[in-house]
Structure 1
Amino acid sequence: MGRVGKTTLAQVVYNDDMVKEYFDLKVWVCVTQEFDVSGMRRTIIEAIPLTCDASDLNHQQIKLKEFLSNKRFLIVLDDVWNENYIVWEILRRPFEYGAQGSKIIVTTRSEIVASTMLTVPIYHLKLLSDDDCWLLFAEHAFEGIELDTFAKLRDTGRNIVKKCSGLPLTAKALRGLLRSKRDESEWEKVLKSDIWDFPDARKLSI
């Protein structure tokens, strides 16, 4: 499911101070739907950085294997869509030479991708409760004001949050939109917008 916070959680882990100290190398790769092994490997090589022949797949493989050998690394592959097992087998071969404790984190909406990459149990993010979603929304939407002084906005905000269906990124997008607005009609406009009638409304950056 999109907009549930997979990338955000991975970013928190990736930027944690203890994680920075533990790994010799960290690389973050944003994966596109037009997945290409050579392009992916080249992105990783450039992020290291490592010099090699960009047109020679075998040379890429060898140089990456040599560089990662005995290094403890963390690689994040964010928003993976490709479900081809053979493709992933080719991509991850150089990573098998890393030091013990090396990790690859994959974020994906696909159960097939998660199963293909599986070495540890899949971590499924849960939707937020209405109360937690409200706290996330209200933290910035009402920043610097007393909720009791804007009772109508508070009530409308609660109803907007319910339409977010527990998706944190939708709540964050809405709080940014409404943060500087104190006119009740602006909040009502969002609450009654036709956008909620679309099947993928919760995934949209409103």
Structure 2
Amino acid sequence: FGVGKTTLAQLVYNDEKVAGFFDSKAWIYVSEDFDVIKVMKAILQSVNGGVPDTNDLNLLHIKLKEELSVKKILFVLDDFWHDNYVDWTSLILPLEVGKSRSKIIITTRNQNVAKMTGTLPAYQLKELAYDDCLSVLAHHSLGRENFDGHPHLNDIGKEIVKKCKGLPLALS
């Protein structure tokens, strides 16, 4: 289990206020198998529903630049592992056209990726404190802040929280 990077990004991505700010949204799952052409095509598919039948990166860049010149887009690059700066600049080049309007959220477990992007400082998600975990568990299981109304479940809840080791996704 993770600490909830993707879940947090999904909450932002699906928030109504955020959605109203952008003309379009694109969620791209990247993972360890980074391929600039594949990611560019996935972005274009999300943005306009169509992908040019080409593997020419320059043509894909041109098509995406056209979209970005008229649209404000929220991009999420989820589970981005690849920390090669040359590949990163090749991917980001067309995204800089709409830079002032479009936004990119990147989820990664690789600190080098966060540094490589050279943008805002990375937001580090950490494990929850024991009491916070207990509160989250009570909320998910009972719809309450704590186990006060259910003392017979308190010990079970504490055991579950110990096993989850502060990982919020393990509680859900």
The residue that corresponds to 1:58 in the other structure is 58
CA shift at 1:8, angstroms? 1.0
Determine the C-alpha separation between the residues in 2 that align with 1:79 and 1:15.
Answer: 18
More contact order relative to length (CA 8 Å, sep ≥ 6): 2
1:158 aligns with 2:154: no
CA shift at 1:97, angstroms? 0.8
CA shift at 1:57, angstroms? 2.2
The residue that corresponds to 2:167 in the other structure is 167
The residue that corresponds to 1:195 in the other structure is none
The residue that corresponds to 2:24 in the other structure is 25
CA shift at 1:91, angstroms? 0.5
Where do residues 140-151 of structure 1 align in structure 2 (5 Å cutoff)? 140-142=140-142, 147=147, 151=151
The residue that corresponds to 1:202 in the other structure is none
How many residues of Structure 1 are paired with residues of Structure 2 in the alignment? 170
The residue that corresponds to 1:41 in the other structure is 40
Determine the C-alpha separation between the residues in 1 that align with 2:164 and 2:131.
Answer: 12
Determine the C-alpha separation between the residues in 2 that align with 1:149 and 1:24.
Answer: 46
The residue that corresponds to 1:72 in the other structure is 72
- SS in structure 2 at match of 1:31: strand
Cα distance change of structure 1 residues 60 and 157 upon mapping to structure 2, 3 Å threshold: same
Determine the C-alpha separation between the residues in 1 that align with 2:117 and 2:123.
Answer: 13
Determine the C-alpha separation between the residues in 1 that align with 2:108 and 2:45.
Answer: 23
CA shift at 1:29, angstroms? 0.7
> Residue deviations 1:145-179, cap 9 Å, x none?
x956864432122122023221101121xxxxxxx
Determine the C-alpha separation between the residues in 1 that align with 2:156 and 2:20.
Answer: 45
Determine the C-alpha separation between the residues in 2 that align with 1:18 and 1:6.
Answer: 20
Q: Structure 1: any 5+ residue segments left out of the alignment?
A: 173-206
The residue that corresponds to 1:103 in the other structure is 103
Cα distance change of structure 1 residues 154 and 50 upon mapping to structure 2, 3 Å threshold: same
| 8 A Cα contact 1:42 1:54, kept in partner | no
The residue that corresponds to 2:15 in the other structure is 16
Cα distance change of structure 1 residues 67 and 110 upon mapping to structure 2, 3 Å threshold: same
1:6 aligns with 2:39: no
Q: Structure 2: any 5+ residue segments left out of the alignment?
A: none
| 8 A Cα contact 1:64 1:94, kept in partner | yes
Cα distance change of structure 1 residues 143 and 105 upon mapping to structure 2, 3 Å threshold: closer
Cα distance change of structure 1 residues 138 and 95 upon mapping to structure 2, 3 Å threshold: same
- SS in structure 1 at match of 2:107: strand
Determine the C-alpha separation between the residues in 2 that align with 1:14 and 1:148.
Answer: 35
Output the amino acid matched with 2:133: C
The residue that corresponds to 1:192 in the other structure is none
User: Larger radius of gyration, structure 1 or 2?
Assistant: 1
